[in-house]
Amino acid sequence: MNIDNLLNLNSGIQAMLTNGSRVAGTVEVLGDERFVFSPRQPIEVKEGMLLRLSDGQDSVLAKVEEITPEGIRLCVECYASPGDERRQDARVYDKIYLKAKFLCREDRKVETFQEARERIVANKLIIDSFVRGKFGPPGVEEMPFTRESLFNNPIVWEINRKLDLLIHMYLGDDFMELMRTPQKDVNLSASGIRFITKESFRPGDLVEVSMILPMAPLLYLQLLGDVLRIKPVTSGETSRSAIAVRFLQVDSDTKEDIIRYLFKRQREVLRKRQGLED
């Protein structure tokens, strides 16, 4: 995700240094997550270190790739914080299938949230029965085990439940509709998501976030969240906004699924960058 999709470049960008001071500067977007930051006064940086940049509302970590006479060439990092991070703080910039559906304004959040949550939980129980094998086939506990019975073969049961999962996913209208949409740039963590949209939202709005994470099998997640912040995006000709959404009442299994995906993507990004450096 490019820097102009993450920070408002028109509001003034500052480098946040480790000693607590801030140095203002300008940003030139190069594309492919890379940009040049030109500080208005000299700052001490080294190639390979992480530098945090802020527009006064949000901040982004970027890795110093090269120091040139024109400025500091950086690449947007996938991590939320330098060094060792807690699992719940893991964060990546990614491109995924995503849909954010407006449900209600803040004044109707209580009753709407309960109705939406019951519907999402019911859908998740169906998927869990196949993905996690939490529920066996009907009547399996009463059936006598025989080696000749294919039904009792654990390999056959695994194949059956995964085939059923694919049928549910590919015949589901919501899933198919989401797969037909273009992928969106996001900043994803286990506690929330940030994305770019042309749709109109307000802080406090309740939204339903549907997304597909490329795992094996595919993770189709439906989450409820409230809009925390809205910020205009400086890139592009059309009017767009960056929307920050905080997830509400995420169950432990879903949170763990998201965290597993985040670390998977972080490893992929690191391998890719190490390959480019070699």
The predicted structure's pLDDT at residue 238: 67
Tens of pLDDT along 150-189? 455 667 767 766 665 666 555 567 777 888 889 998 989 8
Which of these ranges, 56-60, 81-85, 255-259, 263-267, has the smallest mean pLDDT? 81-85
If one compares 57 and 64, the residue with the highest pLDDT of the two is 64
Identical topology for domains 3-77 and 91-277? yes
Is the pLDDT at 197 greater than 70? The verdict is: yes
The predicted structure's pLDDT at residue 80: 41
Tens of pLDDT along 229-251? 888 876 665 678 889 999 998 88
How far apart are the C-alpha atoms of 271 and 266, rounded to whole Å?
9
The predicted structure's pLDDT at residue 84: 39
Is the pLDDT at 276 greater than 60? The verdict is: no
The predicted structure's pLDDT at residue 141: 42
Percent of the chain residues past pLDDT 70, beyond the cut: 74
Domain 3-77: which CATH class? mainly beta
Percent of the chain residues past pLDDT 90, beyond the cut: 25
User: What CATH superfamily classification does 91-277 receive?
Assistant: predicted glycosyltransferase like domains (2.40.10.220)
Q: Are 242 and 201 within 8 A, CB to CB? A: no
Tens of pLDDT along 19-49? 888 999 999 888 767 899 999 998 988 888 8
If one compares 128 and 222, the residue with the highest pLDDT of the two is 222
The model's confidence at residue 15, banded by pLDDT at 50, 70 and 90, is very high
Mean confidence (pLDDT) of the chain: 79
- String of DSSP letters for the chain: --GGGTS-GGG-EEEE-TTS-EEEEEEEEEETTEEEEEESS-----TT-EEEEE-SS-EEEEEEEEEETTEEEEEE-S-SSSSS--GGG-EEEEEEEEEEEEEE-GGGHHHHHHHHHHHHHHHHHHHHHHHT--S-STTTTTSPP-TT-GGG-HHHHHHHHHHHHHHHHHH-HHHHHHHTSPPEEEEEESSEEEEEESS---TT-EEEEEEEE--SS-EEEEEEEEEEEEEE--SSSS--EEEEEEE-S--HHHHHHHHHHHHHHHHHHHHHHHHHH-
Q: Are 165 and 131 within 8 A, CB to CB? A: yes
Q: Are 87 and 64 within 8 A, CB to CB? A: no
The model's confidence at residue 143, banded by pLDDT at 50, 70 and 90, is very low
Is the pLDDT at 225 greater than 90? The verdict is: yes
Sequence spans of domains, the chain: 3-77, 91-277
If one compares 236 and 108, the residue with the highest pLDDT of the two is 108
The model's confidence at residue 125, banded by pLDDT at 50, 70 and 90, is confident
By DSSP bridging, strand 22-31 and strand 34-39 are: antiparallel
Sort 84 into a burial class: Cβ within 10 Å, 0-12 / 13-18 / 19+: exposed
- Greatest mean pLDDT among 7-11, 106-110, 130-134, 145-149: 106-110
pTM: 0.66
